[in-house]
Amino acid sequence: MVGFNSSYFLWVLIPTLVLSVGAQVLVSMAFARWTKTRNSAGLTGQQVAQKLIASAGLDGVGLEGTPGTRSDHFDPRTNVVRMSQEVATLSSVASMAVVAHELGHAQQYQQRSPLIAMRSFLVPAMQFSPMASYLLIVLGFALNLVGLIQIGIVVYGVVVLFMVLTLPVEIDASLRGLRLLKDAGFMQSAEDSGGSRSVLTAAALTYVAAAVTSLLNLLYYISLLSRRR
């Protein structure tokens, strides 16, 4: 059976916990600092977003609020950037960076980025792949059916591919966001530029942690299968 044995703790659980917790700590530290730092333009996240949409020609992109903290995201189905109250209402460097990142996603869709197209193609499969893969692997080991285990590993490979593709998509969105801010004249000080990069770099580390976690789990499943043969 697939279980939490010593090798899983040593090679998967502990490393992924360290990565995940470390990434979250860095994100919290970056946001704590740059949420308290006013951007040079003195504009709220919503005001920055409005100006970026106009200056970058992102016509048709809407802006809405969303509950929660750090719940900001771009919804490609409705072409809307949804902002948490903190980001929408504060005139901070962090707010500026977050809305720029989300508009970077909007630009990816508008320009038909190959990266975002590939990830979007996998989104429907992600609705069932994680649970289905684990069930197939567990049943395969329980019934001693190598073929079932192999199918489960292949299905889990979709999860890994999605996570790996997400990383360059997010990095590209951040780079696009930084360019949008620069082109619109928002990088007026070292704090504006340095703080925006700090926030977006810390956020990117969470996707690195997620990608590494999925890859380590895949390698663990493969190692279990190789021992069974």
The CA distance from 198 to 188, in Å, is 16
User: Residues with catalytic annotation?
Assistant: 102
Contacts of 52 (CB under 8 A, 6+ apart): 58, 99, 100, 103, 180, 181, 184
Angle at 109 between CA 59 and CA 75, to 5 degrees: 80
Q: Is the CB of residue 198 less than 8 Å from the CB of residue 29?
A: no
3-class DSSP assignment, residue 44: coil
Angle at 67 between CA 60 and CA 91, to 5 degrees: 70
Q: Is the CB of residue 103 less than 8 Å from the CB of residue 81?
A: yes
The CA distance from 105 to 174, in Å, is 8
Q: Is the CB of residue 99 less than 8 Å from the CB of residue 142?
A: no
